[in-house]
Amino acid sequence: MARDADVEKVLQALQAEASDKVRDEMGPRYGIVTPKAMGVPMNRMQAIAKRLGRDHELAEALWETGWYEARTVAALIDDPGQVTPAQMDRWRADFDNWAIVDTVCFKLFDQSPHAFARIDAWATLNDEMGRRAGFALLACVALHGRGGDADYLSRLPLIEAAATDSRNFVKKAVNWALRAIGGKKSPALRAAARELADRLAASPDRTARWIGRDAQKAFAKADAKAAG
């Protein structure tokens, strides 16, 4: 492994912040199920990452350790400009819990110029975390203002196609993506997302109905807030 000494220092710093209580609560309380976890609170991982600064090589080496906390730090310190599609696919293949999926997508992958292409590739995957990654990434690029209307209008069919996937971490990501697109300022996107939410809410499929109705509630709340 490259830069073994640097990796070891980060692992030691993480271990110093670890808590058995945090580790033991990760699965039962937060649904974060992963085979290698120390039990470090997110704010401590963020503090360690801040001290390290951007470092693509170290990020890659930390990811290879397999530790949940090291992978979280990796996502926080990697340089989006050096992230390749191959790296995105490689890390995605390692995703084993919703928290690492969302952190990597929200803090790193959404800044990559390859983000929209990876959304297309991942949204049709069969594994739960892989497919979640596709829709979590779609939500993240929408929330952070990447791309233009066409990038989202052309991907609403991906949301509709996945709306009947009843797996917990997929349906929640699909819903998140729909709400994020519908929350953008563009009138065209807002209208298209609301139309899709209405269509899903009327679906005979239970999961699609939940996604549509939950999005309808979110849109109604946002519209009411904007009105007054």
Question: Tens digits of per-residue pLDDT, 172-220?
Answer: 999 999 999 999 999 999 999 999 999 999 999 999 999 999 999 999 9
Q: Report if residue 168 sits inside a domain.
A: yes
Q: In this predicted model, what pLDDT tens digit does every residue of 57-96 receive, in sequence order? A: 999 999 999 999 999 999 999 999 999 999 999 999 999 9
Q: Which of 78, 112, 127 is the last residue of a domain?
A: 78
Q: Rounded to two decimals, what is the model's pTM?
A: 0.96
Q: Report if residue 83 sits inside a domain.
A: no
- Same domain flag for 57 and 102: no
Distance from C-alpha of 58 to C-alpha of 3, rounded to nearest angstrom: 7
Instruction: State the CATH number of the domain containing residue 103.
Output: 1.25.10
- Same domain flag for 65 and 111: no
Q: Specify the number of domains making up the chain.
A: 2
User: What pLDDT score does 2 carry?
Assistant: 53
- Same domain flag for 50 and 106: no
Residue 1 tokens, joined: 């492994």
- Same domain flag for 69 and 139: no
User: What pLDDT score does 3 carry?
Assistant: 79
* pLDDT at 1 exceeding the cut of 80: no
The domain in which residue 9 lies consists of 1-78
User: What pLDDT score does 159 carry?
Assistant: 98
Q: Which of 28, 44, 78 is the last residue of a domain?
A: 78
